[in-house]
Structure 1
Amino acid sequence: MGAHALDKDLAVLAASARAGLVRAIGVSGAWAADPVWREAFEAVPRHLFVPYYYVGVVGGYERRWGESPDPRSRERWLRGAYADTPLATRLRDGELLTSSSQPSLMAMMLVALRVRDGDRVLEIGAGTGYNAALIAHRLGDDDLVTTIDLEPEITESARQHLAAAGYHPVVVTGDGARGVPERAPFDRIIATCTLASIPPAWPAQCRPGARILSPFATGLIALDIRDPGHAEGRFLHTPAYFVPLRGADRAGPETVTLAGVPRWARGHELFRFLLALTRGSLDPQEAYALWEREGMPQRERYGITVSGEREWAWLDDPEGPYAWPLV
C-alpha cells in the first residue's frame, strides 16, 4: 500500500483527522498572533512524516505503522498521527532518539519565530521533516529553508518524507551546533533539541535583526541578534521538554542532590527550570533560596545574553545581581 498511497477510506479519514488537529491547535490559541500558520497545518499532511511511530505500553513501546496488514491497526496509526501529542519516531536500545513534537507546541514556536516573507530559515534537528515542510509551505520557497541533523538515517528519511509531501528544502547531515555556514546568513534559526549553551556558530551565521528560538533548560529562549557577536532575549512562558542536542562537545546532564530543598518544591516545574538553567552555578539549596525570595519567578523573567565569548543567563536584568555563566 505505502503510507503515501492511502486507500480511499483512509484518505477520507486523514482529511477529517487533519481538520480536527487544526481545530484543536486553533482552540489552544497557538497561532492567534500569526494566523498564516493555520494554512500550513491545513496543507501539510503529518501522516506522511510518521509512517510509523512508537506508543508507550507497559514494559516498553508498541510500534504503529501505516502498512500494517490489519485495517484497524492502520486506522489507529492514522488517528494517532493527527493527535495533538508528540510521537516517538526513532528508538535505539530503548532510548528515544527522535520524536515528532506536539503540533500545538510546534505552532506556538513557529509563531514565536516571527517568520517574514523572504526569510532564510535554518532548522536544527530535522526529525521527521514535518517542521521543515511547514516552514517551506509558509515561505512558498523551498530554497529558503535548511534543516540539519547529525544522523544520516534521520536526514535520509526526512528527505524522503518531504519529497512524498511535495517539499524540497535543503537537508544537511552534520553537527547542528556548527550551523550550516555554506547556507548562511540566516534570518531565523529554530532548534528542536534542548541546549546547555548557545553554540557560537548560530549568532555568527545570522544577519543583524535575526531571531533564534530554541529549547533551553526546560523552556524556550527567543534571542534577538544585534550583530554576529551579540544576542539577547527572554524565555517564553511555556514549558518545553526536548531531547538534547547531540554532536560535538555536548555535555550530559549532571545529577544533583536536592537534600535541604522542601519536598513540595522539588517537583515544581518552575523550580526545576531554575535548577536546569543554573546547573553548575548554583547548588539546589542556593537556587531554592533565590526562587523563594523572588516569589517563584515565571519563565518570562529569565533571559540569556551572548556577548563575544561570554554567555550568561539572568533574572530580570542582564546586568542585574542574578546572573549565571553558561560557558
Structure 2
Amino acid sequence: MGEGVSRERQDPPRNPSQDDPFAEAAGRARRRLVAALDAEGALPDPAWRAAFADVPRHLFVPYYHVGTYGGYERLGRDDPAPEARRRWLDGAYEDRPLGTLLRGGELVSTASQPSLMADMLHALDVRDGDTALEIGAGTGYNAALLSHRLGDTRVTTVDIDPDVTDAARARLHEAGYHPAVVTGDGARGCPDRAPVDRIIATCAVPSEPGAWLAQCRPGAVVVTPLSTGVLRLRVEDARHAEGRFLHTSAYFIPVRGSLPAPPEPRTGGLPRGALESELFRFLLTLASGALDPYEAYALWQREGRPARERYGVTVRDGRQWAWLDDPEGPYVWEVGGEGRMGTG
C-alpha cells in the first residue's frame, strides 16, 4: 500500500469552521480514538493513520441516535445540557457505529464503526493517483477520509437519498473537504465518474452489481459488505473478478435501489448453538436461496466451522458463485440466485 500523502494532489488547505467550540476537546478525543485503533492494529498505513487523526468526525455526526430500551435516544451538539453535549462528543469518537437517520422508528442510515472503516479502507490498497467511488454517502465521514488520502478531485460518493447527500455535502464542506457528492442509485454505480480504480460500499449488497465491475479499470479493487462479512474483489475486467472475505464480521444497512433483497434463510429445526454462531449465520446468509440450510449446517460442521477468510466469491461472464477454500473446489454455490452449483 502506498504511504504518505498523494504527490499529485493540489487541494487547497482545509479550513474547518474556525468557531467550532468543540475543536479542542474533539482533538483530544480524536487522539484517543487513533491510539485505540493503533492498539488494535487497525492503522498499519501511516497515510490512513493521518486521515483518522485529522478528519473531525464530530462535524459529521452533529447528532445521532443510541439504542435504549424501547427506542432511541438522541444526542447532539445542540443539546442545552452541558453533560449531554459531553456525552455526544465522547460518543462521536468511540469505536462504535452510530445511528444517524431515523425514519418511522427505524434506522435508515448509520455512521460505521471506525475500526471497521479502517479495515475496509486498508483492504482497498489505494495508491497515489487512484480514483475512488464510494457507494453509500452516509454522513460523509468516509468520503472525507478518502479525500484526505487521495485528494478531493479523485473521490466520488453516491447515495440514492437526496436528504443523505445534501447533509453529507454540507458536512464535508464544513470540514473542508469537497469530493463529488452524487444523488443516484448506488447499485448502478456512477457512470459519469467512470472508470475508477477503487470502489468501496458502505451498504450491504445481495450480490456484486455488474455495473460496478463495468465502471472499474482492470486491476481495480472492490470492497463491499456481503452477507455478514466484507468481500474484497480484484477486478480483471468488466466480466471477471475474484476475491476473498476479510476476517471481520460486518452488519450494514442493505443497499436501497434496484437490487432485490435476498431471500430470508430458513432456520427451523437448526441447533440453537449454530444459530447463535456468527460464522454459521454468515454461511447461512451467504448461501441463502442456493444451499439448503441443513446442508449448510452439515458443511459447516464437516469443515471445522470455517472462518470468513476461507470463503470467497468469483464473478465471471454474468455468473457469481461463492466458494469455500477453492473457486473450483467441491464447495461452490450461486450468489444472488436460486440455482445450486455444487456442494461436494
Given the two structures, how large is their TM-score scaled by the length of structure 2?
Answer: 0.91
The reply to whether residue 238 of structure 1 matches residue 252 of structure 2 is no
- Alpha-carbon distance, 1:11 to partner: 2.6
Local SS of the residue matching 1:241: coil
The reply to whether residue 216 of structure 1 matches residue 226 of structure 2 is yes
Which residue of the partner structure matches residue 60 of structure 2?
Answer: 49
CA RMSD, aligned part only? 1.3
List aligned pairs for 1:165-244, cutoff 5 A: 165-244=175-254
Q: Mind listing any 5+ residue stretches in structure 1 that lack a counterpart?
A: none
Any idea what the Cα deviations from partners look like across 1:50-93, whole Å, max 9, x if unmatched? Answer: 00000111110011111112222211111111111110000111
Give the direction of change, closer, same or farther, for the CA distance of 1:252–1:228 in structure 2 (3 Å limit): closer
Letter in 2 for 1:6: D
Letter in 2 for 1:81: A
Q: 1:101 aligns with which of 95, 112, 118?
A: 112
CA distance in structure 1 between the partners assigned to 2:18 and 2:74 by the alignment:
18
Any idea what the Cα deviations from partners look like across 1:187-239, whole Å, max 9, x if unmatched? Answer: 00000111110000011100001000001000010000111110000111111
Give the direction of change, closer, same or farther, for the CA distance of 1:294–1:252 in structure 2 (3 Å limit): closer
Q: 2:320 aligns with which of 307, 311, 318?
A: 311
Give the conservation status (yes or no) of the 8 Å contact 2:265–2:293. Answer: no
- Alpha-carbon distance, 1:317 to partner: 1.1
Which residue of the partner structure matches residue 13 of structure 1?
Answer: 25
CA distance in structure 2 between the partners assigned to 1:302 and 1:257 by the alignment:
21
Any idea what the Cα deviations from partners look like across 1:136-159, whole Å, max 9, x if unmatched? Answer: 0011x2010000001000000000
CA distance in structure 2 between the partners assigned to 1:150 and 1:39 by the alignment:
30
Any idea what the Cα deviations from partners look like across 1:112-140, whole Å, max 9, x if unmatched? Answer: 1101111010000000000000000011x
Which residue of the partner structure matches residue 157 of structure 1?
Answer: 167
Letter in 2 for 1:16: R
- Alpha-carbon distance, 1:94 to partner: 1.3
Given the two structures, how large is their TM-score scaled by the length of structure 1?
Answer: 0.95
The reply to whether residue 24 of structure 1 matches residue 33 of structure 2 is no
- Alpha-carbon distance, 1:35 to partner: 2.5
- Alpha-carbon distance, 1:109 to partner: 0.8
- Alpha-carbon distance, 1:12 to partner: 2.0
Any idea what the Cα deviations from partners look like across 1:9-50, whole Å, max 9, x if unmatched? Answer: x33211111111111111110122x22201001110000000
CA distance in structure 2 between the partners assigned to 1:218 and 1:153 by the alignment:
27
Local SS of the residue matching 2:304: coil
CA distance in structure 2 between the partners assigned to 1:218 and 1:86 by the alignment:
15
Q: What fraction of aligned residue pairs are identical, expressed as a percent?
A: 62
CA distance in structure 2 between the partners assigned to 1:220 and 1:243 by the alignment:
13
Give the direction of change, closer, same or farther, for the CA distance of 1:293–1:252 in structure 2 (3 Å limit): closer
Local SS of the residue matching 1:31: coil
Give the conservation status (yes or no) of the 8 Å contact 1:86–1:99. Answer: yes
Q: Mind listing any 5+ residue stretches in structure 2 that lack a counterpart?
A: 1-16, 338-344
List aligned pairs for 1:18-97, cutoff 5 A: 18-32=30-44, 34-97=45-108
The reply to whether residue 247 of structure 1 matches residue 257 of structure 2 is yes
